[in-house]
Structure formats: structure tokens, C-alpha cells
């Protein structure tokens, strides 16, 4: 099959040591990009991967650093009743207006760009306190902390009075559009600041984002209304959109064509076709790991086929940590990658 539009054939989840141990270089395996968690970056690994012709990208946790709450409980997201909102399915988010937390993440982001010769950095978990990485998501309404409510009032000029429950009912009722717009603006402003830091520290690096694969209208517009992800507003600050169509995890195990449909939607939504001259790119991350439902080795080619259709111009697979123990899937992946490279 012809996939000349695919320039990036990647693996997410760290240095593929087992692949290298087979005596093949990454370029012989058809792999030319590796994503590593920013906390696990090491200079010698980056040098090794680059010497084998791969680009190295960092993954950066924006709003899911739960350990921060141990010393800063006031950064916990607050529910409609004014109390701390328990982490849905154990998934802990952070209040997006907590100034100390924001500084903490911006400092870590800057440090990663200063310290490591990376080709780009990808925002991860850049959404509200919600457990959406499963077939049926769990999407509580947050954050109604005093800080968020005061900032909303200050920036919109809309006064709020009454109990927290009364205020949250109004924000989710008659003021819903204003509330959603404001919340999306908060999350977009994080992306604006990440971009400014990247431009100052390593302007040649790409800024990407791993994001929920729902369309703008699915689940009653939950992408914006619940997760506070406004892709069009974030687009001016981003280079690469890594949509996450994990078909087996998200209830589409028998329908891998869903991967291509969600990616096609994103292209229409952002007016991207995958033309060589386009500045912004779509590089899906597709699921090969067993998560939710298992993925069989025989399915790998089909998944990568759907994942590499335009408007995608790059692809990566999720995730090396568990894939490394499944050599038949790794073999199917490298076979596909070599085939579309040649």
C-alpha cells in the first residue's frame, strides 16, 4: 500500500531496548520516532536513538500530577456541592487555576526543553478532572473552588451569589455557554504559555498534544463542555495533534475503521488534509497494547492501515511497555513500518 504521506513511524513509551538488542537498528526496523515520558529522559538514551536515525519526543503530564496534592490540598478539583470531587475511577485531575500548580508544571516543561536535545514535546492529560480513557467515561462537573468562581466573575463581569450549590447550578444552567467558554479559555491559556516557553527555550522543537478522540458533537459536546478541550482555540499554539483513537479500549474492538473515521473528522474539523505544505499535522497514536480488549497480532496491520490514512502524516503505537513482551506484534509493526517506508 502507498503511504508516502506518512513521514513519522513511531513508538510511544520509552527506549525500545529489546528491539535494539536484536541487533537491528531502529532505521532497519522502520522506526524513526520515539516518545519518552519527560520524567524518564536521559541524555545518553537520546544520543543513542538519534544515532540510529530516530527523532526523540517527550511526553509531558500537564494536569495529572496527583502527587502535588499531598502538600497542596487546595489544588484539588471541587465539585458542584463545594466539596472536593473524588477522583473518578481513581483518575486525579488538578484545579486548572491553581497558580502554584501551574508554575510547577511550567517550570518542569521549561526544564525538559532546556536540559534535553529533544525534537518536540507533547502535552498529555490536558483536560479537566475526568476519567475518559475507557468505553464509558466518567465526567464529573468541576471546578467550583472559590478561586475558579472568582476568576470567572472577574474575567466575565458576571457576579455570582448564593451557596456554592446555587452558583454551580447557575453556571451549569443559564450560564453554561459562558462557563464552558471561560473554562476552555483557561485550558487554552496553558497551551499558549507552553508555546511561549518552547519558543524561548527550543524554538526548533515541535509542540504536540495527545487528545481525546471524540468529535465536537459526540457525547453532547463533552470534548469542550466537560473536558474543556477547545482544539480550534488551541490550534494556533500547536504543531501536531495526536488524536488517541484507542479502538480496543474505547469500545470499538470489532471496528478498527473507527480509527480512520475519528482521524478524518479531526482533519475536517481543523481543515487539515495532510498536504505536504501544511504547517499543522495530525499524527494519531493507535492502540496495539492489550487494554480494555486484547489486540491480536493478526490485527496489527489493519490497525496501522487505518491509522496511516490521510489526513494523518505520522503515526505512533501505544505502548512499548507492554508491547515489548509480545514479539509477534512488534514484528507485525516493524513489517508494516518497513513496508510503508520503502
| Long-range CB contacts for residues 269-273, cutoff 8 Å, separation at least 24 | 269/215, 269/216, 269/231, 269/232, 270/231, 270/232, 270/235, 270/241, 272/311, 273/310, 273/311
CB nearer to Zn ion: pick between 53 and 100: 100
Find the shortest distance in angstroms from Cβ 212 to Zn ion. 21
Q: Where are the beta strands (DSSP E) in 113-238?
A: 120-124, 206-211
- Coil, helix or strand for 84? strand
Size of the site for Zn ion (CB under 5 A): 4
Binders of Zn ion among 129-148, rule CB under 5 A? 143, 145, 148
Find the shortest distance in angstroms from Cβ 66 to Zn ion. 16
| Binding-residue pattern over the window 66 to 95 for Zn ion, x denoting contact by CB under 5 A | -----------------------------x
| C-alpha cell at position 267 | 482533519
CB nearer to Zn ion: pick between 78 and 259: 78
Distance from C-alpha of 159 to C-alpha of 161, rounded to nearest angstrom: 7
Find the shortest distance in angstroms from Cβ 95 to Zn ion. 3
34 forms bridges with which residues in the sheet?
A: 11, 56
Distance from C-alpha of 12 to C-alpha of 60, rounded to nearest angstrom: 12
CB nearer to Zn ion: pick between 94 and 118: 94
Binders of Zn ion among 269-328, rule CB under 5 A? none
Q: Does 63 interact with Zn ion (rule: CB under 5 A)?
A: no
Binders of Zn ion among 93-122, rule CB under 5 A? 95
CB nearer to Zn ion: pick between 93 and 292: 93
Find the shortest distance in angstroms from Cβ 47 to Zn ion. 41
CA 235 to chain CA centroid, nearest Å: 14
- CB of 280 within 8 A of CB of 272? yes
Find the shortest distance in angstroms from Cβ 230 to Zn ion. 18
* Contact residues: Zn ion, CB under 5 A: 95, 143, 145, 148
Amino acid at each position: 500500500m502507498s503511504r508516502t504521506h506518512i513521514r513519522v513511524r513511531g513508538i510511544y513509551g520509552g527506549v525500545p531496548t529489546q528491539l535494539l538488542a536484536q541487533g537491528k537498528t531502529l532505521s532497519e526496523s522502520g522506526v524513526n520516532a520515539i516518545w519518552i515520558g519527560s520524567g524518564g529522559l536521559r541524555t545518553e538514551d537520546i544520543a543513542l536513538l538519534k544515532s540510529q536515525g530516530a527523532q526523540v519526543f517527550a511526553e509531558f503530564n500537564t494536569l495529572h500530577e496527583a502527587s502535588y496534592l499531598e502538600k497542596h490540598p487546595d489544588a484539588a478539583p471541587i465539585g458542584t456541592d463545594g466539596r472536593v470531587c473524588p477522583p473518578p475511577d481513581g483518575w486525579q485531575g488538578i484545579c486548572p487555576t491553581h497558580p502554584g500548580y501551574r508554575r510547577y508544571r511550567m517550570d518542569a516543561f521549561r526544564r525538559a526543553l532546556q536540559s534535553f536535545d529533544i525534537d518536540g514535546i507533547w502535552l498529555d492529560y490536558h483536560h479537566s478532572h475526568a476519567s475518559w480513557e475507557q468505553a464509558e467515561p466518567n465526567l464529573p462537573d468541576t471546578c467550583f473552588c472559590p478561586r475558579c468562581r472568582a476568576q470567572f466573575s472577574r474575567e466575565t463581569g458576571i457576579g455570582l451569589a448564593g451557596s456554592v450549590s446555587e452558583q454551580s447550578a447557575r453556571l451549569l444552567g443559564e450560564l453554561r455557554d459562558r462557563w464552558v467558554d471561560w473554562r476552555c479559555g483557561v485550558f487554552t491559556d496553558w497551551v499558549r504559555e507552553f508555546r511561549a516557553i518552547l519558543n524561548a527555550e527550543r524554538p526548533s522543537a515541535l509542540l504536540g498534544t495527545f487528545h481525546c478522540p471524540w468529535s465536537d458533537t459526540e457525547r453532547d459536546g463533552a470534548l469542550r463542555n466537560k473536558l474543556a478541550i477547545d482544539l480550534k482555540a488551541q490550534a494556533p499554539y500547536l504543531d501536531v495533534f495526536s488524536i488517541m483513537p484507542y479502538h480496543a479500549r474505547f469500545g470499538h474492538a470489532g471496528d478498527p475503521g473507527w480509527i480512520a473515521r475519528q482521524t478524518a473528522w479531526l482533519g475536517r474539523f481543523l481543515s487539515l488534509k495532510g498536504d505536504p505544505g501544511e504547517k499543522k499535522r495530525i499524527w494519531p497514536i493507535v492502540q496495539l497494547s492489550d487494554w480494555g480488549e486484547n489486540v491480536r497480532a493478526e490485527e496489527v496491520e489493519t490497525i496501522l492501515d487505518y491509522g496511516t490514512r490521510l489526513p494523518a502524516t505520522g503515526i505512533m503505537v501505544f505502548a512499548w511497555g507492554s508491547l515489548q513482551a509480545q514479539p509477534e506484534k512488534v514484528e507485525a509493526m516493524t513489517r508494516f513500518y518497513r513496508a510503508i517506508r520503502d
